[in-house]
Amino acid sequence: MDKRPIPAWSWSVEQCLKEYNAKLDKGLSSYQVEKQREKYGWNELAKEKGKPLLRLVLEQFDDLLVKILLVAAFISFILAYMHGSESEESGFEAYVEPFVIVLILVLNAIVGVWQETNAEKALEALKEMQCESGKVLRDGYIVPDLPARELVPGDIVELQVGDKVPADMRIAALKTSTLRLEQSALTGEAMPVLKGTSPICPEECELQAKENMVFAGTTVVNGSCVCIVVCTGMNTEIGKIQKQIHEASLEESDTPLKKKLDEFGSRLTTAIGLVCLIVWLINYKNFLSWDMVDGWPANLRFSFEKCTYYFKIAVALAVAAIPEGLPAVITTSLALGTRKMAQKNAIVRKLPSVETLGCTTVICSDKTGTLTTNQMSVAEFFTLGGKTTTSRIFHVEGTTYDPKDGGIVDWTCYNMDANLQVMAEICAVCNDAGIFCDGRLFRATGLPTEAALKVLVEKMGVPDAKMRNKIHDSQLAANYLIDRSTIKLGCCEWWTKRSKRLATLELDTVRKSMSVIVREPTGHNRLLVKVTVIPFFYLVVNSKKA
């Protein structure tokens, strides 16, 4: 059967639904799902078979200089054995030289295998970008947590803020006024991309131009939508990336350092071989003699013992001339360079590749934000004071999403006045971002600016001192221990429970603002507005009844 994905971005929603015989309000039936799975398989990246340990070890000895050292070690061992037999010495001292050579080569192989194994494990991190489950419509019923690997082309999936896209999908309908996705892992563009439902006319277009498609591994930062799955598994864009990585790993191209070492080894072998041959031939009279009769040699006499003796001298000279420590020095230098690069999150698969970076003379980079961490934090904010004409500026420390990273400098407003309360309420409630803990790091779902505002609320606290102490002493302490799950930030949660959201008008590039209607404990409705004017956020509140 033909498994090629359809150009869904250039088709209308009706055409895509007709292609998979799916209905937007009912999804696929169980029978259709089984048929699609037989055709397309499971929605998962292929597990490439790793190299066997023996092959990894043998590859470390696939080098001309290393091969020369192996031959030298073997010859040195034979000479040590013969010398020990002649002198009746069988102690360890006779085998020091071959043992040292072999030990150096073994250490060299261990470092090489260790480094490549670590790189292979690091490449597995690509699979962690895949979503684990999704909200899918099947047989007319919503399956809230269907495993992502069970998705098939034609499935109807609903996405919301913070969701990770489980497959490449065509957007069928928007449930909010705007929809944005963060897809820097695919395009390198750090800014969220605005999405829509209209077909894209040219069938052949770049990834960035497919504004009606969402791709596996990307994250929804604003809005929600209903999508049609069109590509799964290795047919997705992230699957194509893995395929390219695997193909690149199979390419064997020598680095400048390896080429120079091979050239050096070849020249060294030739030079040492010629010198040894000359040394052996110079002493030929000591093991080969003859008499001259009528100008011609006669009565040839050959001494095998002396011939072997001078051959051992020539071989000993060769062993002494080979730099046994060169591979160890090179491997150690490259390993140290690899370690420094690993500390900067740069993965090196093969040790000699480190040297390629040293040969780089020009680095071309763009200004899309891919060289940054794509994190934001509040540096300072200001509000009006007790009097209308009085303004206050507060400086904030900390550059991460960890609420405990830094704080507000000289913060004395623990019992916040009305102005500070309004600002904290807008930052917490008029906000779609979320914070989660990935191991020891705090990360954000949604827009980085909105995540920064939520962290600010945590640093400000809540107006009620007793409630503030209760939150910080118990709830936050417990929530910080959660791994890979959304953290219920204490102060933000206090505001969202106090002011319940009734309606939302998402952030729009035309309006440059986000608005929410909230119900207060008093029963009155309020409109909270967050206006974006680059590079500042202005927080506006309308206290009139809605």
Question: For the CA atoms of 488, 489, 491, 497, what is the dihedral angle to 10 degrees?
Answer: -20
Question: What is the per-residue DSSP string for 75-123?
Answer: HHHHHHHHHHHHHT--SGGGGHHHHHHHHHHHHHHHHHHHHHHHHHHHH
Residue type, 429: V
Among 463, 489, 464, CA closest to 476: 489
Which residue spans within 132-284 are E strands per DSSP?
Answer: 133-138, 141-147, 156-159, 168-174, 180-182, 193-194, 213-214, 219-222, 225-231
> What angle separates helix 256-282 from helix 304-321, to the nearest 10 degrees?
150
Q: Are 43 and 166 in contact (CB under 8 A)?
A: yes
Q: Look at the block and give the residue holding tokens 């705007």.
A: 178
Alpha carbon distance 138, 27 (integer Å): 5
Q: Which positions are annotated as active-site residues?
A: 366
**CB neighbours of residue 156 within 10 Å:** 25
DSSP code of residue 328: H
Q: Are 502 and 492 in contact (CB under 8 A)?
A: no
Alpha carbon distance 5, 7 (integer Å): 7
Q: Are 468 and 461 in contact (CB under 8 A)?
A: yes
Among 450, 431, 442, CA closest to 529: 431
